[in-house]
């Protein structure tokens, strides 16, 4: 198959940025806050009625959830939109030191990093998944394996310990999980390697097995990249998420919580 290399990300237009669910959700919260504020001020000016802050926060969340439903955002966004103003008001009522909010923000930023753009949140896997992946790997000879979105590095470290003759690499875009993975390599003296970056800039032709635990949104683009770059006979593995309209070569089930591993031989 032809190899496609990407050396830089394209500039994102304002139109494409607004299509990101996180950006839409933020816009609907701002719009809802503005509408509730106008209504509250109107009630004070016309009827001399003061609106309770908790009631205002509830209606702001309700409006934002309605806008999100109207624009057909994923179901989890509805809950986030509904409860966000109430949770924020509750946090403010605790009168915690501002530094705690800053530390919490930084921790979430370094954990989730560009989730708003990639739409791939932090999904940790477990030992049952590691065992199933180990059994799927070619056993006869040394392989090169890449875990895209490797998180805290558990799978890559586990496989590197099982198969010392092979090369196991993880790539993670979020700084905090990547740093934890690097520290785990140092502490365990593992042969695993971890890169920090976007897997979309990798050349999949360099690997015999590509493992992904991403999100439903990311799967079509992953398939296009794999189909363009992976060599014949290599394996693409996806934990939990199917590629739309592409029948897997093999399905391993059930794992924890009935989640499955889908396998495509290229």
Q: Please check the confidence at residue 254 and state whether its pLDDT lies above 90.
A: no
Domain boundaries, the chain: 14-95, 127-265
pTM of this prediction exceeds 0.75: no
pLDDT band of 257, cuts 50, 70, 90? low
pLDDT tens sequence across 168-211: 999 988 888 888 899 999 999 999 999 998 899 999 999 999 99
The predicted pLDDT at position 148 comes to 93
The predicted pLDDT at position 106 comes to 63
Fold of 127-265: Rossmann fold (3.40.50)
Q: Please check the confidence at residue 15 and state whether its pLDDT lies above 60.
A: no
The pair of three-digit structure tokens given for residue 23, joined into one six-digit string? 């950006």
CA distances from 124 to 46, 149, 153, 227 (A): 54, 10, 9, 26
**Where does residue 147 rank: exposed (0-12), middle (13-18), buried (19+ CB within 10 A)?**
buried
pLDDT tens sequence across 81-129: 999 999 889 988 888 887 877 776 666 555 555 554 444 454 556 788 8
Q: What is the mean pLDDT of residues 2-8?
A: 35
* CA-wise closest residue to 24 among 57, 58, 59, 69: 69
Average pLDDT in the chain: 84
pLDDT tens sequence across 46-92: 888 888 999 999 999 999 999 999 988 877 788 889 999 998 899 88
Above pLDDT 90, what percent of the chain?
A: 50
Q: Please check the confidence at residue 6 and state whether its pLDDT lies above 90.
A: no
């Amino acid at each position: 198959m032809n190899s496609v290399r990407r050396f830089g990300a394209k500039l994102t237009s304002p139109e494409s940025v607004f299509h990101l669910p996180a950006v839409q959700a933020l816009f609907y919260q701002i719009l809802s806050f503005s509408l509730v504020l106008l209504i509250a001020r109107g009630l004070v000016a016309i009827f001399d009625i003061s609106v309770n802050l908790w009631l205002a926060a509830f209606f702001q969340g309700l409006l934002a959830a309605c806008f999100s439903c109207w624009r057909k955002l994923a179901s989890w966004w509805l809950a986030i939109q509904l409860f966000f103003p109430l949770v924020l008001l509750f946090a403010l009522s605790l009168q915690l030191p501002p530094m705690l909010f800053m530390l919490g923000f930084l921790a979430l930023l370094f954990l989730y990093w560009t989730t708003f753009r990639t739409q791939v949140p932090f999904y940790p896997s477990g030992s049952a998944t590691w065992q199933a992946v180990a059994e799927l790997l070619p056993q006869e000879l040394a392989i090169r394996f890449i875990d895209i979105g490797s998180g805290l590095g558990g799978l890559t470290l586990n496989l590197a310990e099982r198969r010392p003759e092979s090369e196991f690499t993880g790539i993670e875009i979020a700084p905090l999980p990547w740093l934890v993975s690097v520290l785990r390599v140092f502490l365990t003296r593992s042969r695993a390697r971890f890169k920090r970056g976007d897997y979309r800039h990798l050349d999949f032709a360099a690997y015999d097995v590509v493992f992904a635990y991403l999100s439903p949104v990311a799967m079509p683009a992953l398939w296009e990249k794999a189909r363009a770059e992976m060599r014949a006979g290599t394996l693409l593995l996806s934990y939990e998420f199917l590629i739309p309209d592409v029948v897997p070569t093999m399905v391993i089930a059930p794992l924890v919580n009935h989640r499955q591993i889908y396998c495509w031989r290229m």
